């Protein structure tokens, strides 16, 4: 397995798409940090305080698309070029091949996240420090590692369903979009207020409506299950991280481990029966 890992690392280091997107991410992150500092300064003049917390994790929802593009391009090339078949011919097991691919892709995802956080850290100079405690920042960073592990396991699995490079990229991005939309729908339902009413403008006058129960509000066991489902999805984790709304980072990390374990197990079972050409 060490030889497999070393060979995959060599391919990773020579991958032009990885280096182009890695430094492109750094540039975008620094530029976004600068732009945010300008808007934060304007809001401060209006009496609204914005801290680094409001910006630092704002790119989280978009990282999944980058992970999907790299992993699909990186792994689909192995199937298209016959690399996987050659690995089997020389005696490597399917389990070792699959796990090696996952570890390399997970490492690439961590590299992307490291560059994202490095660029965002420029906000310390322009925006100021976190309002979070140091422990909370560390837990949020670990949660980001958790959803990177989840995304990597997911897109390595998706790679098994197509032998065509272009189709693999499209399928991976489609899965990411679908899960992002699903997470957004669940998040919006959880954000529904328990009561509706208040003031509204009608026929030139401001009128008050008495508060009434909101039929879309989720409560009780249903709300708990939906909250846990949102935290289980890697796209849901990214959505919560963007808004700094993670109630329990430890639970989120544990759910990431559970998601990764389930998807890795499923991928290993499918890969054992995949026809390698």
Please state the domain extents for the chain. Answer: 2-273
Alpha carbon distance 110, 124 (integer Å):
21
Question: What pLDDT is stored for residue 265 in this prediction?
Answer: 95
pLDDT at residue 15 tops 60: yes
Q: List, as one string, the DSSP characters of 25-38.
A: HHHHHHHHHHHHHH
What is the chain's alpha carbon radius of gyration, rounded to the nearest angstrom?
A: 22
Indicate whether 68 pLDDT > 80: yes
Q: What is the mean pLDDT of residues 78-98?
A: 75
Q: How far apart are CA 198 and CA 212, in angstroms?
A: 10
Asked if residues 170 and 76 have their Cβ atoms less than 8 Å apart, the reply is no
Of 159-163, 204-208, 267-271, which range is least confident?
204-208
pLDDT exceeds cutoff 70 at 6: yes
pLDDT at 178: 96
In the predicted model, what is the mean pLDDT of residues 259-263?
96
CA distance 218 to 232: 18
Provide the 10 A C-beta neighbour count for residue 220: 7
């Amino acid at each position: 397995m060490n030889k497999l890992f070393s060979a995959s690392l060599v391919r990773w280091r020579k991958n032009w798409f990885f280096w182009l997107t890695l430094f492109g991410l750094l540039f975008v992150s620094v530029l976004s940090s600068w732009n945010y500092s300008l808007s934060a300064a304007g809001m401060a003049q209006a009496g609204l305080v914005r801290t680094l917390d409001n910006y630092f994790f704002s790119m989280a929802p978009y990282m999944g698309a980058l992970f999907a593009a790299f992993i699909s391009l990186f792994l689909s090339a192995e199937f298209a070029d016959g690399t996987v078949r050659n690995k089997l011919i020389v005696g490597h097991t399917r389990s070792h091949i699959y796990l090696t691919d996952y570890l390399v892709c997970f490492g690439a995802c961590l590299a992307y996240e490291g560059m994202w956080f490095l660029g965002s850290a420029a906000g310390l100079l322009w925006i100021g420090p976190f309002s979070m405690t140091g422990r909370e920042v560390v837990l949020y960073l670990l949660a980001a590692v958790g959803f990177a592990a989840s995304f990597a396991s997911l897109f390595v699995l998706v790679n098994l369903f197509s032998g065509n490079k272009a189709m693999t990229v499209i399928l991976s991005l489609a899965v990411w979009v679908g899960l992002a939309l699903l997470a957004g729908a669940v998040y919006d339902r959880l954000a529904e207020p328990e009561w509706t009413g208040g003031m509204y403008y009608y026929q030139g006058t401001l009128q008050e409506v008495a508060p009434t129960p909101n039929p879309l509000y989720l409560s009780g066991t249903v709300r708990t299950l939906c909250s846990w489902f949102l935290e289980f999805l890697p796209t849901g984790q990214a959505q919560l991280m963007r808004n700094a709304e993670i109630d329990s980072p430890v639970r989120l990390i544990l759910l990431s481990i559970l998601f990764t374990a389930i998807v890795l197990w499923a991928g290993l079972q499918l890969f054992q029966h995949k026809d390698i050409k």
